[in-house]
Structure 1
Amino acid sequence: MSPDMSDDDRLSFIDTTFVPPDAPCWVSILACFLLACFYVGSLYVWRSDLPRDHPAVIKRRFTSVLIVSALSPVFVWAWKEFTGVEARPPLLALMGIRLEGIIPAVTLPLLLTMVLFLGPLIQLAADCPWGFLDGIKVGLAHFHHVIELLRFGQGTVSGIFLSAVFQFSYTAVFGAYTAFIFIRTGHLVGPVLCHSFCNYMGFPALSTALEHPQRLTVLASYLLGMLLFLLLLFPLTEPRFYGDPTPVCSLAAGSSSVCS
């Protein structure tokens, strides 16, 4: 919400735009969990002996994701009807699909994420003088999944387990970051672009940075990127850039540091 709004104005705005759900809180938590399981489970409905990076498997997974994404609004609508939530913003706006503030939503979150990856970007530019975009293409998008590694006998069980724990921790932090962007901006496009960029870049090659010929420059860019990211995190996601208050924040039962 706008910082110049009084407490009475905030309460008046909330009271006229949001009616809390009748169902218990655990129902909403369960709905979120089921939707996540629905998405992940759709990737494994295809039975195949091919690895996950095979073009045929990629096409099938793309089809699954497309179907789930198309059905997600129906799922959210069913949750809204079941819990009795009433809010002024339309359903698509609550899901981050709207035009208000679209230009900042496309540019600022992505710029913020690129600032965080300043170190890897400088490292790639130094290692790939033939072209910056060509250099980005050498980034690893994902770690392999545990089931597939075991299935094709790639690595030891302990190594695969540690890799899975690391991947889970990394993706959990990234999920919290994209959720923060979604709440602050009220747009879906920002998290999608940030996710695509991070997939394109992969996890920063810290071990390579420590052995880089220009180690001091690369490590300094890593540190500078993290510091600038922390300084710009709230300013570049200021809700007033995207239409204050954002539709998601209109569901808040009170003022929140994330929404203000």
Structure 2
Amino acid sequence: MRKLYKHFYSMASSSCGNEIFACILLSFLYVGSLYIWTGSRGRDHPSTIKKRCASVFFMTIISPFFVVYFLNEETREKATLPQLLGIRYDGVILSAILPLLLTVILFLGPIIQNHQNIPLNSTLLIYLQPRYWYNSSQNPIWWRNQVVAPFSEEFTFRACMLPLLLQCLSPMSAIFVAPLFFGIAHLHHAIDRVKLGLPFTTVVIVSFFQFVYTSLFGFYSAFLFLRTGQFLPLFIVHAFCNHMGLPEIRELFNKPEKQRNKLVAFHALGLIAWYLLLFPLTEPSWYSNELYSL
């Protein structure tokens, strides 16, 4: 027991203690801001969504103050605060296009699977219709999933946490540490599932799967931040992934054999192409990224 205590004490007093504390505090405040509103309405009720959106908007305002407070002198001398947070003009156009293209390639299989019965060009035409965007803008759930959540989560858990962690961790270590705060922060959804009356075992399994999925996405998002030095691609890619949702693996394997094999091939092709293009399409020089390196 004494050895275990010494182990945790040494971790807390290490050179990363302040940075880890700042990230834990930011995570706690972000999730806590969602539950300051009392009421029995579900998370998808318009009233709940509006209140929680106001909470995370407040978090996007105060999060940079944590960065300023916990920055060391060496980091302060490297760049301005907006630059550290990935807010700059140089390379911003490419950062809005190439990381999204890379992510679309990753989702090649799911995209083909989702449009087997609907021509892809028909779907693309839908996105070009003003009526689609007007109807979406009237839906509070769409605003939460496609705008507010991607923006606030990426800003707090990536743009604000990574500059702090990079003060004491290598870029590769920071990529794997930062998403853990993001994954743990999503465990609060277990509370909503319990309120819905789901069995405890189901809540545990679903929450664990969500933790793994959000952490994996967090690795990818942190990688994009360090490679591009930009915040914008994180927001766009996150919104796209929320729009796509999880791949329907169970549905895939319920398809007829010939159709299933074709879809599996597209999934594999997308994954391989994404891997081969991961570094070329995130070349730091394309985004004028001289601050972060990986």
Note whether the superposition's TM-score is higher than 0.5: yes
Alignment partner of 1:194 out of 227, 237, 249: 237
Alignment partner of 1:73 out of 43, 47, 64: 64
1:256 paired residue number: none
- 1:2-22 C-alpha deviation (Å, 9 max, x unpaired): xxxxxxxxxxxxxxxxxxxxx
- 1:122-178 C-alpha deviation (Å, 9 max, x unpaired): 11111434942569x9xxx7999211111121x311111111100001101111110
Over aligned residues, Cα RMSD in angstroms? Answer: 2.3
Asked if the contact 2:227/2:289 (under 8 Å) is kept, the reply is no
Asked if the contact 2:31/2:188 (under 8 Å) is kept, the reply is no
Identity of aligned pairs, percent? Answer: 41
Asked if the contact 2:229/2:289 (under 8 Å) is kept, the reply is no
2:180 paired residue number: none
1:178 equivalent to 2:221? Answer yes
1:150 equivalent to 2:150? Answer no
Give TM-score, length-normalised by structure 1: 0.78
| 1:145 match: secondary structure | helix
CA distance in 2: counterparts of 1:128 and 1:151, whole angstroms: 37
* Post-superposition offset of 1:32: 1.7
Asked if the contact 1:124/1:132 (under 8 Å) is kept, the reply is no
In the alignment, structure 2 segments of 5+ residues that lack a partner are 1-13, 128-135, 137-144, 146-185
Alignment partner of 2:26 out of 25, 35, 38: 35
2:281 paired residue number: 236
CA distance in 1: counterparts of 2:106 and 2:188, whole angstroms: 24
Asked if the contact 1:116/1:225 (under 8 Å) is kept, the reply is yes
2:73 paired residue number: 84
1:93 paired residue number: 83
2:54 paired residue number: 63
| Aligned residues between the structures | 220
Asked if the contact 1:108/1:236 (under 8 Å) is kept, the reply is yes
Asked if the contact 1:123/1:218 (under 8 Å) is kept, the reply is yes
Q: Quick one: which amino acid aligns to residue 45 of structure 1?
A: I
* Post-superposition offset of 1:199: 0.8
Asked if the contact 2:106/2:271 (under 8 Å) is kept, the reply is yes
Moved more, 42-51 or 179-188: 42-51
**Structure number with higher helix proportion:** 2
Q: Quick one: which amino acid aligns to residue 73 of structure 1?
A: P
Asked if the contact 1:73/1:92 (under 8 Å) is kept, the reply is no
Q: Quick one: which amino acid aligns to residue 29 of structure 2?
A: F
1:161 equivalent to 2:150? Answer no
Question: In the TM superposition, what are the counterparts of 1:239-258 in structure 2 within 5 Å?
Answer: 239-245=284-290, 247=291, 249=292
